[in-house]
Amino acid sequence: MVDNSIDRVVAENNNGFEALLEDTIMSSIRDLLGESSMRAILFHLNLERLAGDTQMFDKKLRELLNAPATIIEEIIVKDLFRRLDLLYLPRGAFDFQRYTAAAREFYSSQRRRAA
């Protein structure tokens, strides 16, 4: 019974973080480029869940936009960290997946502490 409740908590944390990340992705792109550009980008990404697979999001955004994808992803990460009340300190080459994984871990640890 304990295993089921642990699995449920992990799933809730992941779903909560994915919802936060998806909302951050959409609002960051909308704030940067406007509503119609955001809709066009999301249409061309053709992802069922934007935040479900950050590696696929990164790959498809780079295929669509090339170099500007890094700028958009960095804005998304900055907004995500701000929403989590985390300090964004870039180190080395930007890696969207590394930063979102760190944010996911922080989110999960905060949820575990609150529970």
Domain count, the chain: 1
Q: Is 65's pLDDT higher than 50?
A: yes
Report pLDDT for 13.
Answer: 53
Report pLDDT for 6.
Answer: 39
Q: In Å, how far are 21, 41, 44, 46, 57 from 60, measured between CA atoms?
A: 17, 10, 9, 9, 5
Q: Structure pTM?
A: 0.85
Rounded distance, CA 64 to CA 37, Å? 13
Which is more confidently placed, 98 or 1? 98
Task: Report, as an integer, the average pLDDT of 86-109.
Answer: 94
Query: What is the residue whose two structure tokens read 């669509």?
Result: 64
Task: Report, as an integer, the average pLDDT of 6-15.
Answer: 52
Q: Is 97's pLDDT higher than 90?
A: yes
Q: Is 11's pLDDT higher than 80?
A: no
How many CA atoms are closer than 13 Å to the CA of 81, on its beta-carbon side?
A: 17
Q: Is 17's pLDDT higher than 90?
A: yes
Q: Which domain holds residue 94?
A: 2-114
DSSP 30-75: HHHH-HHHHHHHHHHHT-S-TTT-HHHHHHHHHHHHSTHHHHHHHH
